[in-house]
Amino acid sequence: MDITFDPQEKQLIFHSADGEQEKRLPLKGVSVADLVGEMGPLVNLDHFQLALPFTWNEWRVIRLCETSEDTT
């Protein structure tokens, strides 16, 4: 499934795997934080780039890096 956004209509557009449009839903009551998540921990970094969606193994590596002490 692929999800895109139509800024003129302010709607989310859901596409099936074969690329055909399936459904359009209006974007109501959703904040930027709801869509992109909490950025608090990343604010003080000089740069970052998120590669979404993360796989289960990528989440495990991220969590391991967050909880481990500097070993180098």
Is residue 34 in a domain?
no
Is residue 46 in a domain?
yes
pLDDT band at 68 (very low <50, low <70, confident <90, very high): confident
Count structural domains, the chain. Answer: 1
DSSP letter, residue 13: E
Is residue 33 in a domain?
no
Is residue 52 in a domain?
yes
Is residue 56 in a domain?
yes
Which amino acid is present at 6? D
pLDDT (tens digit per residue) in 19-56: 766 888 888 877 766 666 666 666 677 776 666 777 87
Residue range of the domain that includes 57: 2-27+40-67
Question: How far, in Å, CA of 61 to CA of 72, rounded?
Answer: 17
Does the pTM surpass 0.85? The reply is no
